[in-house]
Structure 1
Amino acid sequence: MRVAIFDFDGTLYSKETFQLMMSHLKNHPEHSTRYRQFYRTIMPPYIGHRLKIYPEWKMRERSVQAYLSSLETFTKTELEQFFGEIADRMHGDMNPTVVERLKEHVANNDYVMLVSGAFTPLLHAVTKQLPIMTIIGTEILYNNNILDHQTPLSHVQGQLKTKKIKEALEGWDIDWANSYAYGDSPSDLPVLELVGHPVAVRPKPKLRTVAERRNWEII
């Protein structure tokens, strides 16, 4: 079986999910007061990252945890509605070239996967019209149907992406040499290196350098 693995931010979705999530919270007619708490929490790791004394992966992990903490008291239904509102704002910014590639893979009977650090309910909401077989994202925990913002998240990024992919495909005979992966960032390298046909999508400079040196496809 061949697989086709798609990153989300900067790849299937042409922009950055977290920027839109921040904007949605900041300007929300009902929940905007929660933004100040969130902003205060993320500034120290963000500044540390800009000063190159705090690693990017850890800054991202703390940021998604802080965002979820700002939504404390949300029920599962309220959270899914909130992410649905964000998803509605994203549809116009999907990358049409990558969406077409995804549909071509489905037509070729490839097993299509979406793997992202974005929250799983958001990924399901924004891609519900696309023929994706498996979605792997950052899972949200609940306690008695209320958002559990205190348990540390397992933020899906870097090597954890490849681990989650292999767990999802365990027991299947995968033709990795003829499989595809799509990504835009150096953090996608572990996934891109899994397959015989890695594709760099509007790649960031460091990934473009790698892609050009290894003669990977660039779109």
Structure 2
Amino acid sequence: MSAFEAGSSMRVAVFDIDGTLYPDVLSWTLPEWLVSTGACPASRFVELRHFLCGVGATEGVTEGLALLPKAYELFAQALAEVRVTDLENAAENLWRQKKGLLFPFSHSLMQSIAAARCVPVLISRGPDIIVRQVAKSLDVSLYRGTRFQVKASRYTGEIFYRDNMKTKKEFLFDLFDSPINLDGSMAVGNTLHDAQILELVGFPYAFEPSQGLTEVALERGWPIVDRHTIKRVVADAFLRNAGLAH
């Protein structure tokens, strides 16, 4: 049985993080925290920094679809022999400083979605360990990011089970064994990475979208929202459909 069936009563609300709930790319500040604590030498991340600069100059760090797997391979390689607890502490400390930058609508929108008996989900290509911090702040129990291989409480320098090659759609499949009512579900994203999720659901929202996603949204008639309009637009459509619009 597929995990995505129209006959199911389970509805989900899938959110990207970077550029959607948070105004920047959170993942790429994590190496700085590792280095600052002495858990990892700065030289480990030189190749990753050079790669990201190249991506940003050509396609944009959040839009280089074909290049992201390589970026996370380099991230994983830089973590070789780093203790899991060191990365966990770095992620926790990073988020403690950055969580105030979450868009103001984030908390109340998650609460409204939960009140509508819909399951909020965070999906990101960023490291699962930082996605976990964002999920905890928003009281979201289901989340998925890129995972790194661990052996004897240290990172091996490899990605977990080809996570770097998976799409966000595949990440979503990984989370659910029970069927989902896609027609009654919603998704929010801001780049072409998110298009596969948006096209799955009955209520897709392009949030302050990149040029590539803007073109797709206009072609398919998906609502385009921003940090000022998202709560109203979601209330007028998705939550009203659930009978819980305020």
- Scaled by the length of structure 1, the TM-score of the pair is 0.84
Tell me whether 103-112 or 62-71 shows the greater mean CA deviation. 62-71
Answer whether contact 2:91 2:129 (CA < 8 A) is retained: yes
Looking at structure 1, the residues matched to 116 and 217 of structure 2 have their Cα atoms a distance apart, in angstroms, of 25
Match of 2:167 in 1: 160
- Scaled by the length of structure 2, the TM-score of the pair is 0.75
Looking at structure 2, the residues matched to 184 and 45 of structure 1 have their Cα atoms a distance apart, in angstroms, of 19
Deviations 1:83-130 (A, max 9, x none): 112212220211222443222111111011111111111111233132
Letter in 1 for 2:141: M
Answer whether contact 1:7 1:116 (CA < 8 A) is retained: yes
Looking at structure 1, the residues matched to 20 and 51 of structure 2 have their Cα atoms a distance apart, in angstroms, of 28
Answer whether contact 2:20 2:189 (CA < 8 A) is retained: yes
Change (3 A) 1:45 1:94: closer
Q: Cα RMSD over matched residues?
A: 2.6
Deviation at 1:65, TM superposition (A): 2.3
Match of 1:90 in 2: 98
Match of 1:170 in 2: 177
User: Please, which runs of 5 or more residues in structure 2 have no aligned partner?
Assistant: 1-9, 226-246
Letter in 2 for 1:47: G
SS class of match (1:176): coil
Letter in 2 for 1:203: P
Looking at structure 2, the residues matched to 149 and 2 of structure 1 have their Cα atoms a distance apart, in angstroms, of 37
User: Please, which runs of 5 or more residues in structure 1 have no aligned partner?
Assistant: none
Answer whether contact 1:115 1:161 (CA < 8 A) is retained: yes
Pair 1:4 & 2:8 matched? no
Answer whether contact 1:182 1:201 (CA < 8 A) is retained: yes
Answer whether contact 1:14 1:93 (CA < 8 A) is retained: yes
Equivalent residue in structure 2 for 1:77, among 85, 93, 109: 85
Answer whether contact 2:83 2:154 (CA < 8 A) is retained: yes
Match of 1:185 in 2: 191
Deviations 1:53-76 (A, max 9, x none): xx9334322222222322332222
The 5 A counterparts of 1:7-156 are 7-25=16-34, 28-31=36-39, 34-43=41-50, 47=54, 50=57, 56-150=64-158, 154-155=162-163
Looking at structure 1, the residues matched to 133 and 56 of structure 2 have their Cα atoms a distance apart, in angstroms, of 31
Runs of 4+ in 1 over 6 A off after TM superposition: none
